[in-house]
Structure 1
Amino acid sequence: MPPVHLTTAWDDPATRRAWTKLLIGAALGQILWPAAWLGLLAGYVALSITWTLWLFFVPLAYTFYRAFLQCAYWQGAFRARRLLRQYPWQVYETPESGVGNLPGVRDGCAWLKFPNPEAPDQRVTMVMHSHVRSLWWGGRLGRRARAERKAQVREIWFAGDPRFAAVIAVPAPRHLYVIHQRPSYDPGIPADSQGAGPRALELARRAGVRVPAPDAAGS
């Protein structure tokens, strides 16, 4: 049973355990990926044969990329915690979703639509802008996904506000992912109230989302 009766998703012990696994994964990646890169580099230097560069180039490039990417995993984990501490879980059965093929969505980007909290008849599109931890979702939300894969995302747990940011997961919860509108975390884009009322804006602000200042939102 999804813990929809709780005040916030964080009140659910299973949610806290899932987040702890998320954090542990980020910590292990911070250690293992740089270590793998250094090990491969040391192996290449030890061999000192020019042609072996082709054997090491792809693994070296990938491990360096993953080591560089680890800051995004840490960032995602702490953003998830702030959201989970403010919003309760909601459950949506087979929300409209896909990969690309939607105006304003880049090819290859997965997306879902959720009800606007203050206008339930309206649907708000949320796009998985970051590919960090999104491969699992993208492989199940697209039209070409096999039926057994689609079944894994039939029920979506949602904690947040689709106008700003949210944590989505599949039951248990598993595969936590922070999905958000670009202005919510990008300081290069002006914060947008998205038509939200004062209470929704204050809740989003407490969850760490960039929203307009109270005077700007009310003007």
Structure 2
Amino acid sequence: MTMNLDKQGFDGPVAWETPGTRRAFLLWTARHLARALVWVALWWGALYVTLLLPVAAVVPMVLVLLSIGTMALVALGRLAMGWRMWRILRVYPWRQLSGAVRITKGKDALFVLPDPDSPEKVVSLKAPAGLFRTWSHEALKEYDEELWYAGDPRFACVVAKPGLRGLGYLAQPTAYNHRTSPRRKGLSPEARRRARAIGARVAD
């Protein structure tokens, strides 16, 4: 694993001020908004068709409605992640890293990134394969060759392919979940400040 930047940690201008970041984020938002609107429109269309069908045909259409509704909720959930991504991009600088991506036995994508306070240590962030996606080496090739990331892998990060393509969001299970214990140890004052600035949970 090699770091392509001379500086590590939190040095450098925040990602939002880097040329190309705002355009990449707007494109990401527009793409996911379009997907969400399409699924919502399909759900309403399927509901309208269901109301016109005879009673005998309603049961299979309910299954269709549930399937489309699930996809709509997934799309809306991904769109909602944009708020957290925006906050991360306004707090952390971009970093570049090669050889940082693995595929687990369960076909999840694992991003192995340096600890900002102790660069000799690494922290892993997982991108689950999910029900409708399995990660492949080909899909992750560009991320592995030159990964762009902004954030603190102990909490959450925005990742991208070279040229700020393929923006993605990764978070630790403890970063925002109030049912888990917040991180306490190994955090510098600057790391705590930035984590709180993105809304992540940090113990006092």
Per the alignment, do residues 194 and 108 of structure 1 end up closer, same or farther by CA in structure 2, a change over 3 Å counting?
Answer: farther
- Shift of the alpha carbon at 1:37? 0.8
What is the aligned partner in structure 2 of residue 189 from structure 1?
Answer: 180
* Paired residue secondary structure (2:174): helix
Does residue 27 of the first structure (1) align with residue 33 of the second (2)?
Answer: yes
Question: Which structure 1 residue ranges, 4+ long, deviate > 6 Å from structure 2?
Answer: none
TM (norm. structure 2) is 0.82
- Shift of the alpha carbon at 1:129? 5.0
* Paired residue secondary structure (2:124): strand
- Shift of the alpha carbon at 1:52? 7.2
Matched residues in 2 for 1:86 and 1:46: separation?
51
What amino acid sits opposite 2:135 in the alignment? G
What's the CA shift string for 1:15-73, capped at 9, x where partnerless? 1111112222343344322210111122233232625754x455422211122234422
What is the aligned partner in structure 2 of residue 139 from structure 1?
Answer: 135
TM (norm. structure 1) is 0.77
Matched residues in 1 for 2:147 and 2:57: separation?
49
Does residue 125 of the first structure (1) align with residue 124 of the second (2)?
Answer: yes
Does residue 203 of the first structure (1) align with residue 202 of the second (2)?
Answer: no
What is the aligned partner in structure 2 of residue 83 from structure 1?
Answer: 88
Per the alignment, do residues 32 and 150 of structure 1 end up closer, same or farther by CA in structure 2, a change over 3 Å counting?
Answer: closer
Does residue 152 of the first structure (1) align with residue 142 of the second (2)?
Answer: yes
RMSD between aligned residues: 2.8
Matched residues in 1 for 2:91 and 2:77: separation?
22
- Shift of the alpha carbon at 1:12? 2.2
Per the alignment, do residues 77 and 150 of structure 1 end up closer, same or farther by CA in structure 2, a change over 3 Å counting?
Answer: closer
- The answer as to whether partners of 1:163 and 1:194 remain within 8 angstroms in 2 is no
- The answer as to whether partners of 2:109 and 2:129 remain within 8 angstroms in 1 is no
Matched residues in 2 for 1:167 and 1:139: separation?
18
Aligned residues: 195
Matched residues in 1 for 2:101 and 2:75: separation?
31
Q: Report percent identity of matched pairs.
A: 26
Matched residues in 2 for 1:57 and 1:47: separation?
11
* Paired residue secondary structure (1:179): strand
What's the CA shift string for 1:74-119, capped at 9, x where partnerless? 33101001001111111111214113x3xxxxx3432121111222
- The answer as to whether partners of 2:101 and 2:109 remain within 8 angstroms in 1 is no
- The answer as to whether partners of 2:108 and 2:135 remain within 8 angstroms in 1 is no
Per the alignment, do residues 150 and 182 of structure 1 end up closer, same or farther by CA in structure 2, a change over 3 Å counting?
Answer: closer
Matched residues in 2 for 1:167 and 1:211: separation?
19
- Shift of the alpha carbon at 1:152? 2.5
Matched residues in 1 for 2:96 and 2:185: separation?
22
Per the alignment, do residues 205 and 129 of structure 1 end up closer, same or farther by CA in structure 2, a change over 3 Å counting?
Answer: farther
Query: Which deviates more, 88-97 or 69-78?
Result: 69-78
Structure 2: 5+ residue runs without aligned partners? none
* Paired residue secondary structure (2:179): coil
Does residue 161 of the first structure (1) align with residue 157 of the second (2)?
Answer: no
Does residue 43 of the first structure (1) align with residue 49 of the second (2)?
Answer: yes
What amino acid sits opposite 1:197 in the alignment? S
What is the aligned partner in structure 2 of residue 180 from structure 1?
Answer: 171
Per the alignment, do residues 194 and 23 of structure 1 end up closer, same or farther by CA in structure 2, a change over 3 Å counting?
Answer: farther
